[in-house]
Structure 1
Amino acid sequence: MPRYHFKGRNQQGEAVSGELEGASETAIAEQLLRRGIMPTALTEQKPGATNWQFSGSLLFAKQVSLEELVMFTRQMYALTKAGIPLLRSIHGLEENARSEALRRALATLKEDLGNGKPISVSMQAHPAVFSSLFIAIIHVGENTGNLESAFLQLTRYFELEMETRKRIKTALRYPSFVLMALAIAMTILNIFVIPTFANIFTRFGAELPWATKVLLATSHFFVSYWPLLLLGSALSIFGIRRWLNTPQGKMFWHRIQLRLPIVGSILLRSLMARFCRSFAMMLRSGIPINQALSLVADAVDNVFIAQYVREMRSGVERGESLLRTASGSQLFTPLVMQMIAVGEETGMVDQMIQEAAEYYEREVDYDLKTLTAKIEPILIVLVAVMVLILALGIFTPMWDMMRVFKGR
């Protein structure tokens, strides 16, 4: 009997792994589910075979975008609602998939469904395409016979997520263009403009003020050592990105993001809207609160907030109320805390959490609409400082030379 290596999460949301013997992956998955473990990966241990595979096409394959996930879940909802068999539906979607990763995943799903494996178990072999939250919703939909409702919930969730990201990108487009224009302008000034004025000042032997000396020194350093600057910038970017991929670096960066001026509060509200929306969807699907909190902690995409969410899960497992654990995290506003309290008293926690998500989304929408008005004064001050430095550094010695020339 073949032996399988599994990874998954138990009912407390903790990661577990091990090996089991079974007739097939489906049998192993059923064993794990009976034990209260939701499998996330199953790998058959073949004698003499390595546990890794390399595919050049997957290395350069385009990652599945949020738009493609929205299209996939919407199409699956329409097909399952119409009563079309899953195998036929996935076969049709596979032919029209634009992403190579999604196409390969659908091909595997089609093969596994033909062998009698549940779709949620097959999805666990593709964590890069289907997240743990995605798989959990599909698993519940399979067990309750409401697979079309599961796909509909995922469609609405991904659509709201995509809309929020588009609003953030739109709001940051203007300040990004201004900062890029300033960087290009400073590069042109240091390479072409300031060296020309440096030759003029040297020829006339004028006494230069401190601002001009700073500009000339900066331009000389930029022109003389630009290869080192490029190399240093590339190494710095590589080193920083490598450090940010470590648990300590990721925790530091995600914490700093929430403390950035102006943008930090918007990002915090956006993440809390994602948390509430995901949590409400999991509760509506019938997933227990502790398991839902574990899955939502991974879906938040911020390890700093995920740490507090896991602490909330630990409090719930100790028998504390959701309201008390939420107040201990100090992440929610008083209005949201009142919604959670009402939800626990009335037994409608999922509806109240959904109301909280809509509240945060309205706050984010308002903040994004006023973001440009908040950033514009900062950009104006930045441009004014640059113009002032250039005026003091270039035009002041030119005026001194004109006075000397007229005195002659």
Structure 2
Amino acid sequence: MSAVRSAVKTKPSVKAEQMSPFVWEGTDKRGVKMKGEQTARNANLLKAELRRQGITPLVVKPRPKPLFGAAGKKVTPKDIAFFSRQMATMMKSGVPIVGALEIIGSGQKNPRMRNMVGQVRTDIEGGSSLHEAISRHPVQFDELYRNLVKAGEGAGVLETVLDTIASYKENIEALKGKIKKALFYPAMVMAVALLVSSILLIWVVPQFEDVFKGFGAELPAFTQLIVNASRFMVAWWWALLVVVVGAIASFIYAYKRSPAMQHGMDRLILKVPIIGQIMHNSAIARFARTTAVTFKAGVPLVEALSIVAGATGNSVYEAAVLRMRDDVSVGYPVNVAMKQVNLFPHMVVQMTAIGEEAGALDAMLFKVAEYFEQEVNNAVDALSSLIEPLIMVFIGTIVGGMVIGMYLPIFKLASVVG
């Protein structure tokens, strides 16, 4: 009786960008059944490749597409961070780069990530360096990642650089999570307040209005204001919904396509109480950590600042870092260039100056990053502890105001009767 086993994925013979995914079944020279997945230009080429490896293909067919949409989730920065950590660990253990990629690829549950790793492996088997291979995937591997890998390959310390990249991406993703959490709270307060107000105006207030009609008396001004708002909401809720959704969609569309609008919004956010300080600290932390990582990897400082600018997460800081790059390129020390943009706190400028004088700029910037990351953590934790009572007060004010407005006519009628 023939045993069934899963085959190691075969090596494609053509560039992965030109291939399509297939599933196959076959037998080896001993008659053992085998099966697997492979990308190839077409089914005939895959059959020929299998035969060259001593496998008799029985079934070769295109891999079925998922029932809903794209083949798997998109590749996220967290996926890339984990990929980097796995690569660094295996390379430090002596696993060759192609072998490491094959192991990582075979363990991927996300088809997109698995295919991408397979394409990188194929390119390296074809003679490309890791930097050249990942450069064909600029969406997943940004300019910073590619330049760090290039520097690591040039210095012969690729596994160390990959380990540094993994730590960097893990820290940056944690910081992004904190920022999203900080921005989510105010949005949640507004959304809950809007929902509660809409429910009261559309369903509750009309019932009170029917009662008021039996009084035959003029309503207090505040009550009349609420009743008028309720009538408007009941009659035009659909139009208001269209306007709100349209306004949000238009804003997002314009924001993504207008650098001037992005810059203006980023500048405005930096001035918002509490949230603005969190965004300042986040941008400084990202600047410091990214600069430290690139400088430590051996990327020239001017080139590093060009890369770092886009990693700050705020267009105001991006413009400031680009001005710093221009100053550094003509001979200014980093701390002087930093001081001239008039955006970084004095402590950051001072620590940068000390790092430059001591020849330990990367180490000092790592300390700056850790300090401001902790500041972000503390601020977000404090904000989260304040938000619950804030929501209660905010909603209580809205609900309480409407309840008082609805009962004012009853109080007025009672005083007249009394």
Report the TM-score when normalising by structure 2: 0.78
Alignment of 1:142-181 (within 5 A): 142-169=153-180, 177-181=188-192
Alignment of 1:104-119 (within 5 A): 104-119=115-130
Q: Distance in 1 between matches of 2:141 and 2:296?
A: 20
Q: How much is the aligned-residue C-alpha RMSD, in angstroms?
A: 2.5
Give 1:387 shift.
3.7
Determine whether 1:190 maps to 2:208. no
Q: Distance in 1 between matches of 2:127 and 2:71?
A: 32
Of residues 104-113 and 282-291 in structure 1, the stretch that sits farther from structure 2 once superposed is 104-113
Letter paired with 1:353: L
2:335–2:349 Cα contact (<8 Å) kept: yes
Q: Distance in 1 between matches of 2:146 and 2:72?
A: 22
Match of 1:340 among 352, 356, 362: 352
Task: Write out per-residue CA displacement over residues 174-229 of structure 1, whole angstroms, 9 at most, x where no aligned residue.
Answer: 66554443332212111210111111112222321222122112111111112211
Which residue matches 1:244?
Answer: 255
Give 1:62 shift.
2.9
1:101–1:129 Cα contact (<8 Å) kept: no
Q: Distance in 1 between matches of 2:78 and 2:321?
A: 27
Which residue matches 1:4?
Answer: none
Q: Distance in 2 between matches of 1:285 and 1:141?
A: 7
Query: In structure 2, do the counterparts of structure 1 residues 99 and 271 end up closer, same or farther at CA, with 3 Å as the change threshold?
Result: farther
Alignment of 1:1-400 (within 5 A): 62-169=73-180, 177-245=188-256, 246-373=258-385, 375=387, 378-379=390-391, 381-400=393-412
Give 1:240 shift.
0.5
Letter paired with 1:269: N
Q: Distance in 2 between matches of 1:60 and 1:213?
A: 56
Of residues 380-389 and 215-224 in structure 1, the stretch that sits farther from structure 2 once superposed is 380-389
Which residue matches 2:57?
Answer: none
Give 1:163 shift.
2.4
Give 1:75 shift.
0.7
1:58–1:100 Cα contact (<8 Å) kept: no
2:71–2:111 Cα contact (<8 Å) kept: no
1:175–1:372 Cα contact (<8 Å) kept: no
Helix, strand or coil: the match of 2:310? helix
Q: Distance in 1 between matches of 2:311 and 2:69?
A: 24
Give 1:249 shift.
1.8
Query: In structure 2, do the counterparts of structure 1 residues 157 and 113 end up closer, same or farther at CA, with 3 Å as the change threshold?
Result: same
1:67–1:162 Cα contact (<8 Å) kept: yes
Helix, strand or coil: the match of 2:413? helix
Give 1:171 shift.
5.4
Letter paired with 1:357: A
Q: Distance in 2 between matches of 1:242 and 1:88?
A: 44
1:293–1:309 Cα contact (<8 Å) kept: yes
Give 1:136 shift.
0.9
Give 1:379 shift.
4.1
2:179–2:279 Cα contact (<8 Å) kept: no
Q: Distance in 2 between matches of 1:301 and 1:368?
A: 17
1:244–1:250 Cα contact (<8 Å) kept: yes
Where does structure 1 lack aligned partners over 5 or more consecutive residues? Answer: 1-23, 25-54
Question: Which is higher, the Rg of structure 1 or of structure 2?
Answer: 2
Helix, strand or coil: the match of 1:370? helix
Which residue matches 1:41?
Answer: none
2:183–2:275 Cα contact (<8 Å) kept: no
Q: Distance in 1 between matches of 2:309 and 2:108?
A: 29
Give 1:351 shift.
1.2
Q: Distance in 2 between matches of 1:145 and 1:388?
A: 68
Letter paired with 1:359: Y
2:284–2:369 Cα contact (<8 Å) kept: yes
Q: Distance in 2 between matches of 1:186 and 1:60?
A: 42
Q: Distance in 2 between matches of 1:58 and 1:119?
A: 31
Of residues 108-117 and 168-177 in structure 1, the stretch that sits farther from structure 2 once superposed is 168-177
Query: In structure 2, do the counterparts of structure 1 residues 229 and 254 end up closer, same or farther at CA, with 3 Å as the change threshold?
Result: same
Give 1:132 shift.
0.7
2:179–2:278 Cα contact (<8 Å) kept: no
Q: Distance in 2 between matches of 1:61 and 1:235?
A: 30
Which residue matches 1:20?
Answer: none
1:194–1:219 Cα contact (<8 Å) kept: yes
Helix, strand or coil: the match of 2:252? helix
1:294–1:313 Cα contact (<8 Å) kept: yes
Letter paired with 2:280: L
Aligned length: 353
Letter paired with 2:219: L
Where does structure 2 lack aligned partners over 5 or more consecutive residues? Answer: 1-14, 16-64
Letter paired with 1:364: V
Query: In structure 2, do the counterparts of structure 1 residues 343 and 113 end up closer, same or farther at CA, with 3 Å as the change threshold?
Result: same
Q: Distance in 2 between matches of 1:331 and 1:58?
A: 45
1:58–1:101 Cα contact (<8 Å) kept: no
Letter paired with 1:276: A
1:211–1:389 Cα contact (<8 Å) kept: no
Letter paired with 1:207: E
Helix, strand or coil: the match of 2:95? coil
Query: In structure 2, do the counterparts of structure 1 residues 312 and 99 end up closer, same or farther at CA, with 3 Å as the change threshold?
Result: farther
Letter paired with 2:362: D
Give 1:172 shift.
5.9
